[in-house]
Amino acid sequence: MKITIVGAGAMGSRFGYMLKKANHQVELVDTWEPHVKIIQEKGLLVSQDDKNIQVFIPAYFPQEVKNIPELIILFTKSMALESTLQSVKNILGPETKVLCLLNGLGHLEVLEKYISRKNIFMGVTLWTAGLLGPGHVNLTGTGSLEIENIDPLETKEGKLIVEALNKADLNCTLSTNVTESIWKKACVNGALNGTCTLLECNIKEFGGLEGSGTLIREIIKEFREVGKVHRVNLNVENIAQEIEGIYSPEKAGDHYPSMYQDLIQNHRLTEIDYINGYVAKEGKTHNIPTPYNSFLTLLIHSKEQLLVK
Ligand code: NAD
C-alpha cells in the first residue's frame, strides 16, 4: 500500500520503519528540518535490541511532498493537527484514507473540516517510541492498535487498512467502538500525565503518594460526566484500577509520562488542551463542573510559561 506518515517523529518513525520493512511504499513528512535532512541524506537510524539499522525511506517537508497516497497516517502532536492538515492538503486525494493515531480528544472535529467522513479512520495505539536525536529513533517493547472507520459504510476499507498494518506486525484490530477506547486512553493520560509533570515524578512515585488514589478517581469522574455528552460510558473504578495496575516497575512504574518528557526535559509545549483541557472546555460548554481538570490544565499552562522559551 502507498502510505504517507505525516508527523514522522518518534511514533511516525516507528510506524514508517515497520511498514517499510513489510514492503509497503512509505513516505515520511515532517517539518523538523535537521530530522528530515538527516533522513534524506543518511536514512533513518533505528535502534532496537542493542542493534542499529539504517533504513532509507523518502522524507519530505510538507511543501515538497507530491505523491497522493492510498493511506495517510497522522502522528503529529495534537496542537499541530490543524496546521498539519492545512499543509498537506495537496496530497489528500478523493480516495485517500486518513488514519489519526494521535493521543487525546477532539481530533475528529478538526479532521472533519478537511476530510470527508468516508475517508476518516480513528485509532488508538499502545505502541511506544522515543527519539534519541534528529533522524534517530529508539524502539522498545511491543504494542497493538485498534482502528475504526467513522462512516459505517467503510468497514471494508477498514479491513484493508488492518490487513496492511498487520502485514507489518503492528497487531491491529478493527474496533466497533474506538471512541470509547480513545476516551479510556485519554483517562489514563489525563490521570497521570499532568500530575506526574506538575509533581516532577515518575509513575511509581506518583502511585506511592497518599492522595493519588483519590486524585485519579476525581479526575476520571469528570471524564465520565463529560464523556456522557459524547455517548461514551466510562467505568471510573475499572479505569482507576487499571491505572493502579501499572504503578509497579515491571509495568510502567519507572516511566516518566510523555508530558513530563515534553515539558520538564525538553521544554516543549504539551498536549494538555486535548486531554484534561478538552474535558474542562467541554464541561464549560455543557455546564458540567470540572474543577480537577480545569485546575490541572491551568497549572500545566502556567508551567509551560515558565519553562518553554
Ligand atoms: P513527536 O514530537 O516525536 O513527533 C511529532 C512530529 O510531528 C515531530 O517530528 C514534528 O516535527 C512533526 N510535526 C509538527 N508539525 C508538523 C506538520 N505541520 N507537518 C508534519 N509534521 C509536523 O511526537 P510522538 O511521541 O511521535 O507523538 C505523536 C502522537 O502520538 C502524539 O499525539 C502522542 O501523544 C501520541 N503517542 C505517542 C507515543 C509515544 O510513545 N511517543 C505513544 C502513543 C501515542
CATH 3.40.50.720 range(s) for the chain read 2-176
Burial class (CB in 10 A: 0-12, 13-18, 19+), 134: middle
Question: How high is the pLDDT of residue 253?
Answer: 87
- Ligand 1 atom with least separation from CA of 80: 15
Whole-number Å distance, alpha carbon 9 to ligand 1 midpoint, is: 5
Rounded to whole angstroms, the Cα distance separating 243 from 237 reads 10
Band of residue 14 on the pLDDT scale cut at 50, 70, 90? very high
Give the angle 74-76-79 at the CA atoms, nearest 5°: 120
Band of residue 306 on the pLDDT scale cut at 50, 70, 90? very high
CATH of domain 179-307: 1.10.1040.10
Percent of the chain with pLDDT over 90: 97
Is 77 a pocket residue for ligand 1 (Cβ < 6 Å)? yes
Band of residue 250 on the pLDDT scale cut at 50, 70, 90? confident
Question: How high is the pLDDT of residue 252?
Answer: 87
Whole-number Å distance, alpha carbon 35 to ligand 1 midpoint, is: 13
Average pLDDT for 257-273: 96
Give the mean pLDDT of the chain: 97
The CATH fold assigned to 2-176 is Rossmann fold (3.40.50)
Is 103 a pocket residue for ligand 1 (Cβ < 6 Å)? yes
Q: Is 167 a residue of the active site?
A: no
Whole-number Å distance, alpha carbon 26 to ligand 1 midpoint, is: 17
From the candidates 77, 97, 184, 185, give the one annotated as an active-site residue.
185
For 77-87, write each residue's pLDDT tens digit: 999 999 999 99
For 152-201, write each residue's pLDDT tens digit: 999 999 999 999 999 999 999 999 999 999 999 999 999 999 999 999 99
Q: Report the b/e string of 54-74 with b at 16+ CB within 10 A.
A: ebebbbbebeebeeebbbbbb
Average pLDDT for 204-231: 97
| Residues 5, 76 contacting (CB under 8 angstroms) | no
Band of residue 309 on the pLDDT scale cut at 50, 70, 90? confident
Is 256 a pocket residue for ligand 1 (Cβ < 6 Å)? no
| Residues 204, 176 contacting (CB under 8 angstroms) | no
Q: Name the residue type at position 2.
A: K
Average pLDDT for 244-273: 94
Band of residue 249 on the pLDDT scale cut at 50, 70, 90? confident
Question: How high is the pLDDT of residue 47?
Answer: 98
Burial class (CB in 10 A: 0-12, 13-18, 19+), 269: middle
For 19-63, write each residue's pLDDT tens digit: 999 999 999 999 999 999 999 999 999 999 999 999 999 999 999
Question: How high is the pLDDT of residue 96?
Answer: 98
| Residues 84, 62 contacting (CB under 8 angstroms) | yes
- Indicate if the pLDDT at residue 251 is higher than 90: no
pTM to 2 decimal places: 0.96
For 116-161, write each residue's pLDDT tens digit: 999 999 999 999 999 999 999 999 999 999 999 999 999 999 999 9
Question: How high is the pLDDT of residue 49?
Answer: 93
- Residue 166 neighbours by CB distance under 10 Å: 14
